Amino acid sequence: MHLLDLDSGEKSLAISRQIPRYGQTVMSPTGKFICYFKDQDWWNYDIERNKHTCLTANAKATFSNASYDGAETAVAYPFGGWSAGDKQVILYDEFDIWLFAADGRSHRRITDGKNIQTRYRVYDDGLVSNSVGNVGGFSSKTIDMNQAVMITSENQHNLKQGISLWSRGKGLSRLVEAHRKIYSLQKIKHRNALTYFECSFDSPPALKMIEEGGKPEIIVQSNAQQSDFRWGRSELIYYESDGKSLKGALFYPAGYVEGKKYPLIVNIYEKLSHTLHDYVPPSGKSANGFSKTDLTQQGFFVLCPDIAYTINEAGPSALRSVTAAVKKAISGKQIDSARMGIMGHSFGGYETTYIIANSSLFKAAVAGAPVTDLKSFYLSVNNENRPNLQLVESNQLRLKKPFHGPELKMNSPIENIANVKTPLLLWTSDSDQVVPPAQSMEFHLGLWRLGKTSTMLVYPKEDHSLLDEENQEDLSKRVTDWFSHYLMDAVKPDWM
């Protein structure tokens, strides 16, 4: 990384061999420092003095993301910010918030989340107005640590969320903690009070206010009429895959009756347990064909699991994690193991096609805009005329072995297409700028030639996700039709 003197035009080396990863190199608001994560530590570069200081060397904590399972060097937890005047740097380990002097001479941990498996973070409203130099990830913001600071928390076992206020004099003061999603915090000026939104899968958003030492008050409750309708509920399931403890969000069908068997739909895309408390109004339309609320209203269980990845085994990792999640979900639940479907979009679509090519666990599947042939995708260019090899080697596909080796074939769904027994609905756009529609067509034609059950939808003038509301409604209706026919014995529509 180089610095350019705009007056003289001279360029000087600031940081050598720094991987250009988002949020790992951050300019201070005043422009005095560059804070960067390298070699498992945070460093601070004093521009005027041309001095590098390791901030975290003596802190008894690990600042690289312990849950990172990507193909590149482990990244740090998100950067917290700067105190006024760039005097302190706010950094995170897995659970706690730390304050480091910009010169590296002192540090302290201001929360105690490790002992209770709770992750604390300074609330980030994401407003551009609070950032300076927000270009290419080199963003920074000032947090006034002399005033009460809003802190969010989340228990990493049960996903219980909370809000606290922290001040230099009082330390941490908890205001709210609940099995809910808590978001959009707003501090009330000149008071130790704030407003926030709270919701869960079966509780529509409510705008609330809380004062330090007081109880939450509802200001506005949305969708109060929901109590007149049947609704499902959500819960976490716990399982293991590849030696890692994982979670999944399980959503019950509306009007669930104990003792009755229900079909299950599994939606996949890396880690999705965090959707446990998301509130999604029923709408009959979606940009990728999936709505857990619409599907639970139709009488399906819905499972959104976490997937643990091993390098060079993106496909097998997905199969192992999904199989473990499904096994746990059907244990003790009224789920009919003979009526289960799977779906995913983009990378989730790739995982879906891989799973049905290597397992007969599911009776029906839907894959949106998937990569299905890793070799042809690897040896092609994207819409910017750049090779896709980086997407295969460094991104979600996590393939670090040579493209001509057995690992690429092992992870490529097309290689085992002859084993597919699951009816598949494919959908894509003729203008997809992320995954070429030819990837869907190749898999569809392969299934067609082998006499397998496959239907392919191509939406004109759309991109990777559907933006046109009529197309969103059309896709959602066809997804419901597909699963209703194969999992609920509904009459087969003519379009299938």
CA pair distance 121, 116, nearest whole angstrom: 15
Closest by Cα among 367, 370, 366, 352 to 432: 370
Quote the tokens at residue 11.
């360029």
Residue 143: strand pairing partners = 83
Look at residue 279 in the predicted model and tell me its pLDDT: 97
Residue 351 burial by CB count (10 A; 0-12/13-18/19+): exposed, middle or buried? Answer: buried
What's the rounded Cα separation, in Å, for the pair 342 and 48? 56
One-letter identity of residue 204: P
Q: What share of the chain is helix, strand, coil (3-state, %, to 5)?
A: 20, 35, 45
The whole-angstrom separation of Cα 312 and Cα 412 is 11
What pLDDT, on the 0 to 100 scale, is given for residue 139?
Answer: 67
Q: Report d(CA 338, CA 16) in Å as an integer.
A: 57
What is the pLDDT tens value at each position of the chain, 496 positions in all?
Answer: 888 888 898 898 888 888 777 788 998 988 899 999 999 999 999 999 999 999 999 999 999 998 888 888 888 998 999 999 999 999 999 999 999 999 999 999 999 999 999 999 999 876 433 444 444 556 678 898 988 999 999 999 999 999 999 999 899 999 999 999 999 999 998 888 999 999 999 999 999 999 998 999 999 999 999 999 999 999 999 999 999 999 999 999 999 999 999 999 999 999 999 999 999 999 999 999 999 999 999 999 999 999 999 999 999 999 999 999 999 999 988 999 999 999 999 999 999 999 999 999 999 999 999 999 999 999 998 777 888 888 899 889 999 998 899 999 999 999 999 999 999 999 999 999 899 999 999 999 999 999 999 999 999 999 999 999 999 999 999 999 999 999 999 999 999 9
pLDDT of residue 137: 56
| CA dihedral sign of residues 326, 330, 334, 339 | positive
The per-residue pLDDT for 197 is 97
For the CA atoms of 56, 62, 68, 71, the dihedral, rounded to the nearest 10 degrees, stands at: 60
Measure the CA–CA gap between 261 and 227, rounded to whole angstroms: 25
- Where do runs of H (alpha helix) occur along 311-399? 314-330, 347-358, 374-378, 389-393
Q: Which two tokens stand for residue 223?
A: 């969708």
Residue 492 sits at the vertex; the CA angle it makes with 489 and 496, to the nearest 5 degrees, is: 130
